[in-house]
Amino acid sequence: MNIQNISLSAKDKITLFDNFATMLGAGISILEAVDSLLEDAKGSQKKLLTHLRNDLIQGKQISGSFARFPSTFDKVTLNIIRASEEAGTLDVTLKDIKKHIQKEMEFMDKVKGAMIYPMLIFGVFIGIMLLILTFVMPKMASVFSRMKVELPLPTKIMLWTSNFIMTYTIPLIIGVIVLIIGFIFLYRVKKSIILGVFFSLPLISGLVKEMDITRFTRSMALLLSAGIPLTGALELSRDVVWRKDMRQLIKHIEIAVSSGKEVSDAVRDAKGLVPMIVIKLIEAGEKTGSLDIAMQNISEHMDYEVQRTLTTLTALLEPIMLIFIGVAVGGMMISIIAPIYGLIGQVRNL
């Protein structure tokens, strides 16, 4: 197995950094700590620690060894560890990284949790629709064929759709699989374009902007507290945001800071992109020389804002989806029942 493909889950990384920091803080040497962790390690974690042990024996630093695992450790983590090794604060920094990963995991869990209910409702709708088209409509088709009544257009459409699905079941399944594989391939090749379209959607755009500010400021707080220079921290933080305009803003801040300007002044140039409270907190942090603390306070504030936005969106999506599904399923049932009522009306007129 290529070591570049070795990856750890967020929980495994939290456990690794926590145990590592505890042992180093207790005065245990790095190599002894790795040997101790190897005793209980399994799977990918054991492979990673084995490579780490071999690298340490050859005289490499932890950051240099971790750099061989790009699927597990991002640039932010690697640069923080490298800076802490030079400063001799590795145990403290590993604890900070653990807390950062834990907050990031909790943050993403909130987002995923908010999406579960709408996705579940949508899945139920697809299941009901397929059930009607593949089981109900084929049986009703034989009934309708014996009825001497003009079928309404919705009924004709449903019968045609049902017949198409039943006739070309295997080609349709193959087509769906090909589409899914094609989308996955396109996503990997043109990820930025697909995400750009998705992030521009009305309800999603504002939420993603808040999430980007949260992740950016949290990363900045961690990088600055680890002793990374401001320009370096800005460059590394560009990789943690999703929106293109946020990446452009961070690049603009980086250029402005390099030319001697304040971060708050550069952020002000992006009118409407960043809330005024964020600018004020950055400005206060610069005046007091505690920009890292200001960034941490901003991330906590924006985390709350993201949670509130998620709650609002979920509360808004639930009734909309229920109404949509009710109307769609109700329309299907009416298209089935309408011809029967039409036949009953003809019989009464005889």
Q: Name the nearest CA neighbour of 81 among 70, 72, 92, 90.
A: 90
Convert the pLDDT of each residue in 268-281 to its tens digit: 887 778 888 888 88
User: Has residue 119 got a pLDDT over 70?
Assistant: yes
Q: Is the CB of residue 214 less than 8 Å from the CB of residue 304?
A: no
Q: How much is the pLDDT for 174?
A: 92
At 178, the pLDDT band (50, 70, 90 cuts) reads: very high
pLDDT at 1 over 60: no
In this prediction, residues 55-72 reach a mean pLDDT of: 81
> For the chain, what is the mean pLDDT?
80
Closest CA to 299 of 113, 72, 106: 106
DSSP state for residue 5 in the 8-state scheme: G
Mean pLDDT of 288-302: 86
Tokens of 197: 């379209």
Chain length of the chain:
350
Integer Cα distance of 172 and 183 in angstroms: 16
Q: Please give the single-letter amino acid code of residue 295.
A: M
Measured distance CA(337)–CA(331) in Å, rounded: 10
Q: Would the pLDDT of 7 be above 80?
A: no
The pLDDT of residue 349 is 55
Kindly indicate the confidence band of residue 57, based on its pLDDT and cuts at 50, 70 and 90. confident
What are the distances in angstroms from CA 106 to CA 28, 100, 110, 178, 210?
A: 30, 10, 6, 34, 16
| Spatial CB neighbours of 53, under 8 Å, sequence gap ≥ 6 | 31, 34, 35, 38
Q: Is the pLDDT of residue 301 over 80?
A: yes
Most distant CA pair in the chain, distance = 99
pLDDT in tens, 12-24: 888 888 888 888 8
Each residue of 221-243: pLDDT tens digit? 888 887 788 888 888 888 788 88
User: Tokens 């005889």 — which residue?
Assistant: 350
End-to-end CA distance of the chain: 79
Query: Is pLDDT above 80 for 297?
Result: yes
Of the CA atoms within 13 Å of residue 324, those in its CB half-sphere come to 12
User: What is the per-residue pLDDT across 315-330, written as a single tens digit (0 to 9) for each?
Assistant: 777 788 888 888 887 8
* Percent of the chain with pLDDT strictly greater than 70: 93
Task: Calculate the CA 13 to chain-centre distance.
Answer: 18
Q: Are 270 and 243 in contact (CB under 8 A)?
A: no
pLDDT at 103 (0 to 100): 81
pLDDT at position 258? 87
pLDDT exceeds cutoff 80 at 61: yes
Q: Which residues contact 107 (CB under 8 A, 6 or more apart)?
A: 211, 214, 215, 303, 306
> Among 302, 303, 299, 291, which residue's Cα sits nearest to residue 225?
291
Domains located in the chain, CATH noted: 3-73 (no CATH), 97-350 (1.20.81.30)
pLDDT in the model for residue 30: 80
Q: Which of 269, 266, 275 is nearest to 309 (CA)?
A: 275
Position 163 scores a pLDDT of: 85
Which tokens go with 201? Answer: 């959607």
- Say what the pLDDT of residue 51 is: 84
> How far apart are the C-alpha atoms of 29 and 56, rounded to whole Å?
11
